[in-house]
């Protein structure tokens, strides 16, 4: 699919995998809306790549509509990358046997609301805009890529909420792809392994922590670069025969229980 001159929305686009995807989309000629809560980073990136920034909380439908409308003003809407997400870790049952020490249910709901429901809300709004976009020669109107995680398949101790949210993203990929086939929109999901993003912080302690993490990676034994994930995102968008797939990009890691 040719995305030159088309518009693209990247949620969580101000940093990490989202930012790397936004840069590669811009290199391919797309007009990118960086949709994020981080205004300073988002505006700077949008200026760098010749795109636009829209402040978006993916749990707010009006924010999502604003981003899609901004994209429509820049070119035909053909791309959505769902990269916004948060993590949370807590054991299901506490150590003292009290009900109060059980896992925080509000935290569980928040992770699901952002990572899963927010992703679906972005899909339904962006796909609605895509449905009115003039189709390309083969009837194709657009492509959607969700960012999940290997935690969808082998979540670790304490990752119940995160794994449930990302597992939900993987689980909805096929049915949504089947649904959106009627309007010529493809849907794929990329499941990153351990990626070197700002989530790990900076400094000596951070580097020591990452060095320990990467021991579980099969080969190459290191954390992945955001650009390596973004490369797969772009392939899922531009390769018109990629549809309804969930693809691990993880260096062969299989996460241990802890």
Q: 248 exposed, middle or buried (CB, 10 Å; 0-12, 13-18, 19+)? A: buried
SS3 assignment for 197-257: CHHHCCCHHHHHHHHHHHHHCCCCCCCECHHHHHHHHHHHHHCCCCCCCEEEECCCCCCCC
- Residue 108 has a CB neighbour count (10 Å cut-off) of 18
Q: What is the DSSP string of 42-72?
A: HHHHHHHHT-EEEE--TT-HHHHHHHHHHHH
- Whether residue 69 contacts residue 50, with contact meaning beta carbons closer than 8 Å, is answered with no
Residue 198 pLDDT = 74
Predicted local distance difference test score (pLDDT) of residue 36? 98
Please give the pLDDT value at position 16.
94
How is the chain split into domains, by residue range?
A: 7-91+99-249
> 246 with 166: CB under 8 angstroms?
no
The pLDDT of residue 205 is 85
Per-residue confidence (pLDDT) for residue 206, from 0 to 100: 84
Cβ neighbours, 10 Å, residue 253: 20
Q: Which residues contact 106 (CB under 8 A, 6 or more apart)?
A: none
Name the residue among 62, 65, 39 with its Cα closest to residue 52.
Answer: 39
Q: How far is CA 27 from CA 119, 183, 189, 195, in A?
A: 25, 27, 21, 22
Question: Can you give the pLDDT at residue 211?
Answer: 87
Residue numbers in the chain where pLDDT is lower than 70: none
Pick the CATH number of 7-91+99-249 from 3.40.718.10, 1.10.10.10, 3.30.70.580, 3.40.50.720: 3.40.50.720
Distance of alpha carbon 149 from alpha carbon 197, whole angstroms: 14
* pTM for this entry: 0.96
Annotated catalytic residues are 162
**Residue 79 pLDDT:** 99
User: Which pLDDT value is given to residue 167?
Assistant: 98
pLDDT per position as a tens digit, 134-168: 999 899 999 999 999 999 999 999 999 999 999 99
pLDDT of residue 200: 77
């Amino acid at each position: 699919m040719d995305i030159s001159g088309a518009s693209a929305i990247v949620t969580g686009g101000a940093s990490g995998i989202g930012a790397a995807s936004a840069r590669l989309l811009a290199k391919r000629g797309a007009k990118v809306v960086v949709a994020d809560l981080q205004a300073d980073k988002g505006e700077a990136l949008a200026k760098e790549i010749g795109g636009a920034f829209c402040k978006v909380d993916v749990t707010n439908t009006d924010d999502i509509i604003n981003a899609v409308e901004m994209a429509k003003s820049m070119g035909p809407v053909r791309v959505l990358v769902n990269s916004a997400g948060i993590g949370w870790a807590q054991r299901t049952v506490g150590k003292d046997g009290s009900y109060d020490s059980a896992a925080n249910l509000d935290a569980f709901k928040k992770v699901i609301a952002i990572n899963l429901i927010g992703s679906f809300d972005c899909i339904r709004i962006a796909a609605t805009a895509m449905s009115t976009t003039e189709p390309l020669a083969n009837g194709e109107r657009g492509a959607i890529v969700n960012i999940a995680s290997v935690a969808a398949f082998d979540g670790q101790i304490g990752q119940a909420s995160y794994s449930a949210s990302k597992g939900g993203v993987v689980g909805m990929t096929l049915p949504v792809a089947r649904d959106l086939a009627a309007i010529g929109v493809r849907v794929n999901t990329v499941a990153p392994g351990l990626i070197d993003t700002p989530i790990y912080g900076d400094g000596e302690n951070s580097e020591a922590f990452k060095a320990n993490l990467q021991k579980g990676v099969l080969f190459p034994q290191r954390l992945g670069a955001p650009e390596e994930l973004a490369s797969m995102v772009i392939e899922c968008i531009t390769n018109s025969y990629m549809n309804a797939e969930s693809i691990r990009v993880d260096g062969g890691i299989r996460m241990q229980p802890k």
